[in-house]
């Protein structure tokens, strides 16, 4: 095993007493004060997450928009400058190589944000698909900080040289933060109003100190990041998504136009044609649907636990966590078609008990502020 890498913020985590773990080859904090407190502070005020481990690819060139539109599910030709979009890099079979956000910074300049574990494979796929005219620069000397929570606007506005009240959900721009050139987006993984700041690593460490000096802000770790995303029903690569799962099964087909031509689209069209209601019956074993699972208990179920309906196995849990906001366990999992409608009663077989769960609409936590309209405030 290789030694895990340290992010630009490692020294601060240690100084703040964080518990560190190896996550995707990086030493990252699981928690500082405690997972529940950090989770609740994100829902009520503002927290920061070190997301320096994530990959940043700057993609430039006159053909970048057209090339990316063929390489990703996102239609980068139609994406306006100053906007970001969530989507996927698919393999030939339509499986998810990675889930990503692409941001258009200029007509011929994009930032692609990718997961840490998948970054090397993403780069390889993109190099093969984009061709020589389009440059891919891995911004390895840059870090990323996520500030999330309803008060994140108040924390950040005084530090950045752009009017945040004019920035909509999934807006992005080049600006300055703490006097340093950066890329800023109104995005996140918690369901709350929030921003992601991309800048050179050493400068990001300085900005992090400034932000943490604000009494509204607490540092938060991977523990609360997971419970926050699961309350929203957001997928995590490696749990809900993999190269053997396509985004239609994952219920994420609404993020793109399946009739458009992009890498993997043919396979997705064949897949959806094959699972018309009649064919579903014959294809039962091969088709699955991602659902959100809501328990009425505090007792946890775990990744890999079987999902039952009337005693028969109909699926498998992909994530489970105690929800600090709802005070019960929530999770996600894949189930057979016919068992995926909201309100469907199921059970999860854990090592020690059979726990009743119900299929839920997402988000399971309904009061997130991520789409808050700031210009009307």
For residue 262, what is the DSSP state?
Answer: -
- Nearer Cβ to other proteins, position 24 or 30? 30
Element (DSSP H or E) covering residue 295: strand 289-295
Sign of CA dihedral 185, 137, 201, 6: positive
- Nearer Cβ to other proteins, position 91 or 302? 302
- Nearer Cβ to other proteins, position 27 or 79? 27
16: burial class by Cβ within 10 Å (0-12, 13-18, 19+)? middle
Whole-angstrom distance, CA of residue 272 vs CA of residue 341: 18
Which stretches of the chain bind other proteins, using CB under 8 A? Answer: 30-31, 34-37, 223, 227, 297-300, 321-322, 324, 352
Residue 322 Cβ vs other proteins, minimum distance, rounded to whole Å: 4
- Helix, strand, coil distribution of the chain in percent, nearest 5: 25, 35, 40
The closest of 10, 36, 12 to 21, measured between CA atoms, is: 10
- Nearer Cβ to other proteins, position 174 or 328? 328
- Nearer Cβ to other proteins, position 78 or 298? 298
Residue 360 Cβ vs other proteins, minimum distance, rounded to whole Å: 19
Residue 37 Cβ vs other proteins, minimum distance, rounded to whole Å: 8
Residue 347 Cβ vs other proteins, minimum distance, rounded to whole Å: 17
Residue 300 Cβ vs other proteins, minimum distance, rounded to whole Å: 5
Beta bridge partners of 345: 358
The closest of 205, 184, 225, 268 to 15, measured between CA atoms, is: 205
């Amino acid at each position: 095993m290789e030694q895990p890498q340290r992010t630009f913020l490692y020294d601060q985590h240690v100084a703040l007493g964080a518990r560190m773990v190896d996550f995707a080859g990086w030493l990252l904090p699981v928690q500082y004060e405690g997972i529940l407190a950090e989770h609740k502070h994100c829902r009520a005020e503002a927290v920061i997450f070190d997301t320096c481990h994530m990959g940043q690819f700057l993609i430039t060139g006159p053909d970048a928009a057209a090339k990316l539109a063929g390489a990703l599910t996102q239609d980068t030709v139609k994406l306006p400058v100053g906007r970001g979009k969530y989507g996927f890099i698919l393999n030939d079979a339509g499986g998810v190589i990675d889930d990503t956000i692409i941001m258009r910074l200029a007509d011929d300049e994009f930032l692609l944000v990718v997961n840490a574990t998948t970054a090397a494979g993403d780069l390889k796929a993109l190099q093969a698909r984009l061709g020589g005219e389009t440059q891919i620069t891995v911004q390895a000397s840059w870090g990323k900080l996520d500030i999330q929570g309803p008060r994140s606007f108040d924390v950040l506005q005084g530090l950045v040289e752009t009017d945040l009240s004019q920035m909509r959900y999934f807006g992005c721009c080049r600006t300055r933060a703490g006097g340093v050139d950066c890329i800023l987006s109104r995005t996140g993984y918690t369901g709350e109003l929030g921003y992601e700041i991309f800048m050179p690593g050493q400068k990001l460490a300085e900005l992090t100190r400034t932000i943490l000096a604000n009494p509204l802000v607490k540092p938060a770790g991977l523990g609360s990041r997971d419970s926050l995303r699961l309350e929203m029903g957001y997928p995590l690569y490696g749990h809900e998504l993999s190269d053997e799962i396509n985004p239609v099964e994952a219920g994420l087909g609404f993020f793109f136009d399946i009739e458009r031509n992009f890498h993997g689209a043919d396979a997705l069209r064949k897949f959806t044609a094959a699972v018309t209601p009649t064919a579903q019956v014959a294809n039962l074993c091969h088709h699955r649907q991602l659902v959100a699972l809501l328990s009425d208990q505090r007792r946890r179920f775990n990744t890999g636990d079987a999902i039952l309906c009337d005693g028969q196995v109909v699926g498998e849990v992909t994530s489970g966590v105690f929800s600090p906001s709802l005070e019960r366990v929530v999770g996600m999992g894949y189930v057979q078609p016919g068992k995926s409608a909201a309100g469907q009663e199921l059970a999860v077989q854990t090592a020690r008990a059979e726990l009743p769960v119900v299929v839920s609409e997402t988000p399971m936590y309904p009061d997130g502020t991520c789409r808050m309209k700031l210009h009307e405030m």
